Amino acid sequence: QSGLGLALARQGRYQEALAPMTAAMALDPHRTDLHRDLAALLFMLDRWEDAAGEMQSPLLLDNTDHAAWLGLSDCYARMGRTREAASVLERAAAQLPDHPQIRRGLADAYELWVVNCARTGDWSGAYEGLLRLREHYPADPRTLRLSSVLTPP
């Protein structure tokens, strides 16, 4: 079932791929790769909430699965929930403190949090995100750039 679902997905037939992917995952719910594949498919269908739910399953089985942490954060970011996206990667960094993709993703998530809040006029939220960015990445050029345009509320 998983093979059929992946083949359909590779052809861009995402909706058709959903049934075989779901069936394959139901047969072996402990395979983290199947959960990630199904989440990726839901992601392609712009079903961010469902994809986020599916990305949480691999983390219950293996909290060091960096791809699942990054995918879950990306789902929250796509939904406009940038604080949650950063929070997910803060938890990931606690599990995988030296993982370069998690570290880079967390810096990106903080920047997105700041920019998204500023775009909507949530200046206290933007400053809160900037403080986190500054705390964890003081030498990052984004920290300096954003600090120069944001002042405390």
Cα–Cα distances in Å, from 97 out to 67, 100, 110, 136? 15, 9, 16, 12
Residue by residue, pLDDT tens for the chain (153 residues) are 567 878 888 898 899 999 998 898 888 888 888 888 898 899 889 999 999 998 998 898 889 999 999 999 999 999 999 999 999 999 999 999 999 999 999 999 999 999 999 999 999 999 999 999 999 999 999 999 999 988 766
Contacts of 130 by beta carbon, 8 Å cutoff, 6+ apart:
110, 114, 143, 146, 147, 150
Q: At what angle do helices 141-149 and 123-136 cross, to 10 degrees?
A: 150
Give the other-Cβ count within 10 Å of 130's Cβ: 24
User: Which amino acid would we find at residue 76?
Assistant: Y
